[in-house]
Amino acid sequence: MSKRDLYEILGISNNASNDDIKKAYRKLAMKYHPDRNPNNKEAEDKFKEIQSAYEILGDPEKRASYDRFGSAGIDPNNMNNGMGGFAEAFGDIFGDIFGSSSRRSSNSSFKGSDLKYSLDITLEQAAKGFSTEIRVPGWEKCDSCNGTGSRKGVAPITCRTCNGMGSLRLQQGFFSVQQTCHKCHGSGKEIPDPCYVCNGSGTKKINKTLQVNTPAGIDDGMRVRLSGHGEPGINNGSPGDLYVEVHIKPHNLFKRKGDDLHCDLTIPFTLAALGGTLQIPTLEGKAEIKIAEGTQSNSVLRLKNKGIRNVRGLSNGDLYCHIIVETPIKLSNDQKEILKKFDASLKEGSEKHLPQTQSWIERVKKFFK
């Protein structure tokens, strides 16, 4: 059961209020409840996924840890500690709930949940590819008890709360729901003599250092999978995966749109009027761009293949320069006189030299007629 995006599972945003989380859980739990979807494995799996998401997001401390580290910040052995998501979210509707055993098998093994880690990188690193080490909290099998949670030589016993089934059926009248046993955490076993190293959890918390290699052209929100570095499995199930989600920091010059780059290019009005060439920065170094005579503000110039290489290596994006013509300020008296003479010369052929200005004047005249 993936925990890569718990907010998406419940269909809410990551700034949702506690009430919004509870309402979303109620709605989805009613929709996918096994009693409403008999013999529907897909609905049953969806219901379990919804429960797991609510058990984290419905707890302020677990939610804060999840927002910071993803599921790596949540101890898998502290899940379902009590009545959990269903009883809390539906308690005000159904009141007191009592339990009975369910049909879940305690011998089943389950793959560990996937984890998420957020990695911030620069635009340059995204364009060229980047390797780094990350440190993430996690859990692994306890070496002392080999993950059983029991002291060596002492075998676990059948859980007396769920009679070894691993879960309880919570019922109120005609409505019932399956809930993981809070005593054995779904294993169906109790540990009378817990391991002194892990205190019976079967796991130990660690800080792992992992190598992450991001490919050239990776975009914001894309993920790199590190297989086998998720949560440990239950009942000797295989571990989940760690998904490193990349977030690209804002750049002081360029904005990325797909594989293309965009930037503002400010030029003096003399260059805009007379034309010429200009050296500009790109992610690969300097490039020369040609400014045509009479270039106007908001013109867009394109430099082909100067964007970012597609992450699949198929092509390069382009660089788009958005022209801003700068008006000079703090002119000397001599400069002002020169501009006045220049302005007078333009007015002699305004339709030729200033077509946009002349067009605007004509529209104003029509407006006041």
Domain boundary among 216, 248, 280: 248
Q: Are residues 221 and 135 in the same domain?
A: yes
354 vs 201, higher pLDDT: 201
Return the ∠ at Cα 40 (arms to 169 and 233), rounded to 5°. 65
Residue-range definition of the domain harbouring residue 181: 6-248
| Final residue belonging to a domain, choices 222, 248, 274 | 248
Q: How many domains are contained in the chain? A: 2
Per residue in 328-365, pLDDT tens?
A: 989 999 999 998 988 888 777 656 666 676 676 677 76
The CATH number that applies at residue 119 is: 1.10.287.110
Q: Looking at the structure, do residues 226 and 283 belong to the same domain, yes or no?
A: no
What is residue 127's predicted lDDT score, i.e. its pLDDT? 94
66 CB-near residues (< 8 Å, 6+ apart): 6, 56, 57, 73, 74
Q: Is residue 196 part of a domain?
A: yes
Query: pLDDT > 70: what percent of the chain?
Result: 80
- Is position 153 within any domain? yes
Q: In this structure, are 50 and 66 located in the same domain?
A: yes
Two structure tokens written together for 297: 């503000």
User: Do 312 and 279 share a structural domain?
Assistant: yes
What global pTM score does this model have?
0.58
- 306 and 222 co-located in one domain: no
- Does residue 235 sit in the same domain as residue 297? no
Q: How far is CA 194 from CA 140, 163, 202, in A?
A: 17, 19, 9
The verdict on 244 and 282 lying in the same domain is no
Q: Does one domain contain both 290 and 259? A: yes
Q: Is 44 contained in some domain?
A: yes
Residue 31 lies inside a defined structural domain of this protein: yes
Report the chain's C-alpha Rg in angstroms: 32
Q: Is 263 exposed, middle or buried (0-12, 13-18, 19+ CB in 10 A)?
A: middle
| From 236-245, 264-273, 298-307, the region with the lowest mean pLDDT | 236-245
How does the average pLDDT of the chain come out, rounded?
Answer: 81
Tokens 């320069």 belong to 321
- Domain end position, chosen among 229, 248, 267: 248
Feature table: binding site: 142, 145, 159, 162, 181, 184, 195, 198
The β-bridge relationship of strands 167-172 and 175-180 is antiparallel
* 41 and 187 part of one domain: yes
Give mean pLDDT, residues 285-299.
93
Residues making up the annotated binding site for Zn(2+) are 142, 145, 159, 162, 181, 184, 195, 198
Is 332 inside a domain boundary? Answer: yes
Please tell me whether residues 338 and 234 are part of one structural domain: no
Supply the CATH number for residue 360's domain: 2.60.260.20
Greatest Cα pair distance in the chain = 104
> Do the domain assignments include residue 1?
no
> Which tens digit of pLDDT belongs to each residue from 6-31?
888 899 988 888 888 988 888 888 88
Same domain, 270 and 228: no
